[in-house]
Amino acid sequence: MVRTTTEQVLFGWWVILSTAVTPTWWCHVSVCCTGVGCAIIRPPRDGGIRYRGLTQEQVLVQVLPVDYEIEYICRGNRVIVGPKVRKCLPNGTWTDLSHRSKCLLPCPKVQTSLENGRVVVSPPGPAVEGTVLHYSCLTGFILEGRNSTQCTKLGKWDSPKPTCRKKKLYIGALFPMSGGWPGGQACLPSAQMALDLVNKRTDILPDYELELIYHDSKCDPGEATKLLYDLLYTEPIKIVLMPGCSSVSTLVAEAARMWNLIVLSYGSSSPALSNRQRFPTFFRTHPSATLHNPTRVQLFQKWNWTKIATIQQTTEVFTSTLDDLEQRVKEANIEISVRQSFLTDPAVAVKNLKRQDARIIVGLFYETEARKVFCEVYKEKLYGKKYVWFLIGWYADNWFKINDTSINCTVEQMTEAVEGHVTTEIVMLNPETVRGASNLTSQEFVIQLTSKLGGRTQETGGFQEAPLAYDAVWALALALNKTVEPLKAKGRRLEDFNYNNKDITAEIYRALNTSSFEGVSGHVVFDAQGSRMAWTLIEQLQGGSYKKIGYYDMTKGNLSWYGNDKWIGPGPPADQTRVTRKFRFLSQKLFVSVSFFAGLGILLGIVCLTFNIYNSNVRYIQNSQPYLNNMTAVGCMMALAAVFPLGIDGQHVHRSQFPVVCQFRLWLLGLGFSLAYGSMFTKIWWVHTVFTKKDEKKDKRKHLEPWKLYATVGVLLAIDVLSLMIWQIVDPLHITEEKFTREVPKGDVDELIEPLLEHCSSTKMNTWLGVDVVWIVHGGHDDDDDDDDSVVWVVYGYKGLLLLLGIFLAYETKSVSTEKINDHRAVGMAIYNVAVLCMITAPVTMILSSKQDASFAFASLAIVFSVYITLVVLFVPKMRRLITRGEWQSDQQETMKTGSSTNNNDEEKSRQLERENKELQKIIQEVRCLCGLHHSFALPLCGILNL
């Protein structure tokens, strides 16, 4: 009779449904008879009662037994609120009758929990109709939305679930999703990736959340103007602006100062944006187009180039880039020797480069114009082992192979012309596997971004610049994080920012200006103009394809060089035709030959000096003033000694020692001339003074003491020493180099020989020479002389005057005969010789100064001949006379007997003869007078006297 449990349950459900409609009270016979049990109660609305362990007939009673339990269940998705199970008590009542049970609709449990917050349920229990939730946030978070919500009869909450969020900082961004440069297609997802990571970090802006509010600028300044207005005048306040392309950034950055806003661009390369006066709050993670220039300068210095040439297309971006390059190379002591530009046709500009011998050429032009340029380069043969071209690296890899109807060169010709050129390109993706601030390597970033873009990287605009947008967000986040503490010290917070707050803007500016971190695009740091300083990739076209040859990190000045650069010639070409300095030196055969004769002359001088000293007691030698002759011999030897330093040049001494040689030449020759010629001039001057004056003065001059002659020579020598000392102190001699026309050596070498000749000179050389010698300057140009170069200037120094005066005195005394100086005629001949040779040699050596052999030959041989003739004329006749006549023997014996009385007797005899001569002249004069008065009477006498 008892059914299975399953049947009982099913029957119970049937009972629930039936009693829910028409409840009927029934009582079992045995129960009713005893009167013990609980009356059946009504189930809650929209619910029923589950009877367990009873048959259908047993349920249809009005009283249930003691300890029997009933269970409330609800229809559909409703839930029981209150007691779910009741039990029959012995007193005939059910348990918990004071607590009503209800079948109510539940509300979604999702709102019963709050991230970063707390939820209080009222009343406690499941969230059903009438339940109220009270929300609150943890410390550091702000509740966004209502702080309470109630579950309605429909099983829904009467308000959305609130959120506990960080304090938000808003970024106003303009991403060009279309237009000339649709870079926002990849840059926007990249920036959002960075924002997600930043907002999850607990060590960066822990109390803040960055939110991006962006619009499509279409890379159009007009559209950007409207969007900028919306960003500025629509809540919430934006703390930073992030524009994209250069034209939009120019507009935004120039206006941002009016709202005290920092502008951080991720895609602007225009050099014009580096103007701090015009754009005082502008920063960019995209490097300026001028960033190529430091790399170029580094390469110029690496390859030892100091002269370059440039050719540019006349557009603003290339002009400003070239202006920056010009400033940088100037600071590096590199010269831009040729600067050419063109608008559409580069033919004339390329020809000018060829004509002006340009070797290292920087080209700034777009890809289409590049093909035109190199077609002309091929025609002008401005390529090969002598030339290097520097181009922009963002051309297509096969740009020179593209068929272009605007040029008439074949692909083979273009390939030949461009071989070996060097390109520079900004590195936008870190080539090294390093984890930076975002804890991502550049390769991991590319994988994640590619996945976010669905693998469509080739057709997605701005994919190359995406790392720059990613690092721009990180640069901003790190800078804002850096400002938190300084602002807190001032009692300010980032959320206090408004468009009138300059203090917060200044802190953000300082933080950005000092940014330095590793990003996926490389090391991120800004220069003084707010431009990104990034790595530059250096490539070279080798065999028709580009090869990486190095990287340059401008921030650290580090050049990473692979060493695989390849050149058509033996190495990097010279920046100009290499000029080899080659000094011209004196012929050693000529120097040795002349030195040999000079040495013989010195030996001859020693012989003459020895002879003169040994025979100084001989009367004939005494009458020639031997001490003066000794001075002449010594001076001649000094002049001959000057021949040796006169022939010394760079072959024999170091350049630093050459001024000493110059001074040595000057002193030897100057003092030698003063001694030799001064002693001869003194003799001839004394003879002329004594024997050409009037009779009444002659006696006074006859007894001139010898010491006065020596004093005269001493005065001349002192003048020379004084002038040479002043010259050496005031304007010392130094080396000057005379350059000659460059010569082309034999063979196919890119080289010229520049002959050089060393001279001893001083700043006022002609002035000092004018003090000492006769010097003739004809048609030459002297930087220190303001006179007309077409005039012949003859500067007479005191030695020149001595030479001229010596010639005159020698001529005047040629017929004078005196025993006091018995060799004055020989002295006169020597003076003629010295004067004539000096007069000839001085201008000739001046004319031949550029011909070292001829100049040395004339000067040295003039000295040698002058000395030889002087020594031979003065001393050889004396030697011959003493040897042939044996006078030195008789004179020595007579001298031993008479001592010094000989000279006195001779002088007395000479005076007696002069007196007799005067008396005879008076008698002849009287006879002439008589002949005139008595012509007829005195005629025979006059005829006899031949009057």
Q: Model confidence over 578-621: pLDDT tens digits?
A: 777 788 878 888 888 888 998 998 999 899 888 888 887 877 77
Q: How confident is the model at residue 726 (pLDDT cuts 50, 70, 90)?
A: confident
Residues 366-391, mean pLDDT to the nearest whole number? 92
Q: How confident is the model at residue 23 (pLDDT cuts 50, 70, 90)?
A: very low
Cα–Cα distance measured from residue 274 to residue 286, given in angstroms and rounded to the nearest whole number: 12
Residues 40-67, mean pLDDT to the nearest whole number? 78
Please calculate the CA angle 547-552-555 and round it to the nearest 5 degrees. 160
Cβ–Cβ < 8 Å for 360, 300: yes
Q: What is the DSSP letter of 556?
A: T
Q: What is the CATH classification number for the domain harbouring 746?
A: 1.20.1070.10
Cα separation of the two ends of the chain:
213
Cα–Cα distance measured from residue 472 to residue 490, given in angstroms and rounded to the nearest whole number: 27
Please indicate, yes or no, whether residues 499 and 555 belong to a single structural domain of this protein.
Answer: no
Cα–Cα distance measured from residue 882 to residue 902, given in angstroms and rounded to the nearest whole number: 18
- Predicted pLDDT of residue 690: 73
Please indicate, yes or no, whether residues 599 and 654 belong to a single structural domain of this protein.
Answer: yes
Asked if the structure places residue 39 within a domain, the reply is yes
Q: Which of 203, 205, 173 is nearest to 479 (CA)?
A: 205
- Predicted pLDDT of residue 671: 85
- Predicted pLDDT of residue 651: 77
In the predicted model, is pLDDT for residue 796 greater than 60?
A: no
Q: Which of 353, 159, 379, 169 is nearest to 262 (CA)?
A: 169
Asked if the structure places residue 904 within a domain, the reply is no
Please indicate, yes or no, whether residues 175 and 227 belong to a single structural domain of this protein.
Answer: yes
Crossing angle of helices 367-380/411-418, nearest 10°?
Answer: 90
Asked if the structure places residue 245 within a domain, the reply is yes
In the predicted model, is pLDDT for residue 794 greater than 70?
A: no
- Predicted pLDDT of residue 743: 73
Q: What is the CATH classification number for the domain harbouring 116?
A: 2.10.70.10
Q: What is the CATH classification number for the domain harbouring 513?
A: 3.40.50.2300
Q: Which of 452, 475, 453, 463 is nearest to 522 (CA)?
A: 475
Please indicate, yes or no, whether residues 859 and 922 belong to a single structural domain of this protein.
Answer: no
Q: Of the candidates 60, 85, 104, which is a domain's last residue?
A: 104
Please calculate the CA angle 420-426-428 and round it to the nearest 5 degrees. 130
Asked if the structure places residue 566 within a domain, the reply is no
Asked if the structure places residue 575 within a domain, the reply is no
In the predicted model, is pLDDT for residue 906 greater than 50?
A: yes
Asked if the structure places residue 753 within a domain, the reply is yes
Residues 723-734, mean pLDDT to the nearest whole number? 81
**H or E stretch covering 319:** helix 316-331
Please indicate, yes or no, whether residues 413 and 434 belong to a single structural domain of this protein.
Answer: no
Q: Which of 706, 711, 613, 717 is nearest to 672 (CA)?
A: 717
In the predicted model, is pLDDT for residue 781 greater than 90?
A: no
- Predicted pLDDT of residue 748: 62
Q: Which residues contact 515 (CB under 8 A, 6 or more apart)?
A: 475, 478, 479, 524, 525, 526
Asked if the structure places residue 869 within a domain, the reply is yes
Please indicate, yes or no, whether residues 643 and 736 belong to a single structural domain of this protein.
Answer: yes
Q: Between the CA of residue 915 and those of 687, 905, 921, 929, what are the distances in Å?
A: 20, 16, 10, 22
Task: Please provide residue 316's backbone torsions phi and psi, each rounded to the nearest 5 degrees.
Answer: -60, -40
Cα–Cα distance measured from residue 365 to residue 343, given in angstroms and rounded to the nearest whole number: 10
What percentage of the chain exceeds 90 in pLDDT?
32
Asked if the structure places residue 826 within a domain, the reply is yes
Please indicate, yes or no, whether residues 29 and 153 belong to a single structural domain of this protein.
Answer: no
Q: How confident is the model at residue 772 (pLDDT cuts 50, 70, 90)?
A: low
Residues 521-540, mean pLDDT to the nearest whole number? 90
Residues in the chain: 947
Task: Kindly report the pTM of this predicted structure.
Answer: 0.50
Q: Which of 64, 820, 168 is nearest to 497 (CA)?
A: 168
Please indicate, yes or no, whether residues 651 and 785 belong to a single structural domain of this protein.
Answer: yes
**Selection from 281-295, 734-748, 814-828 with the highest mean pLDDT:** 281-295
Please indicate, yes or no, whether residues 342 and 474 belong to a single structural domain of this protein.
Answer: no
Task: Give the residue, 927 or 421, on which the prediction is more confident.
Answer: 421
In the predicted model, is pLDDT for residue 869 greater than 70?
A: yes
pLDDT digits (tens, 9 = 90+) for 141-150: 888 889 999 9
Task: Give the residue, 654 or 346, on which the prediction is more confident.
Answer: 346
Helices (DSSP H) in 181-291: which residue ranges?
Answer: 184-200, 221-233, 246-256
- Total domain count, the chain: 6
* For residue 467, cis peptide bond before it (omega within 30 degrees of 0): no
Please indicate, yes or no, whether residues 370 and 477 belong to a single structural domain of this protein.
Answer: no
Structure tokens at 120: 């209080």
Q: Which residues contact 655 (CB under 8 A, 6 or more apart)?
A: 735
Q: Which residues contact 521 (CB under 8 A, 6 or more apart)?
A: 285, 427, 428, 429, 430, 442, 467, 468, 470, 471, 534
Residues 191-213, mean pLDDT to the nearest whole number? 93
What percentage of the chain exceeds 70 in pLDDT?
84
Please indicate, yes or no, whether residues 279 and 341 belong to a single structural domain of this protein.
Answer: no
- Predicted pLDDT of residue 22: 33
Domain containing residue 821? 588-898
Q: Between the CA of residue 104 and those of 51, 74, 78, 95, 99, what are the distances in Å?
A: 21, 8, 5, 21, 15
Please indicate, yes or no, whether residues 850 and 811 belong to a single structural domain of this protein.
Answer: yes
**Selection from 198-202, 396-400, 938-942 with the highest mean pLDDT:** 198-202
In the predicted model, is pLDDT for residue 898 greater than 60?
A: no
**Selection from 63-72, 418-427, 779-788 with the highest mean pLDDT:** 418-427
Return the amino acid letter for 409: C
pLDDT digits (tens, 9 = 90+) for 470-514: 999 999 999 999 999 999 999 899 989 999 989 999 999 999 999
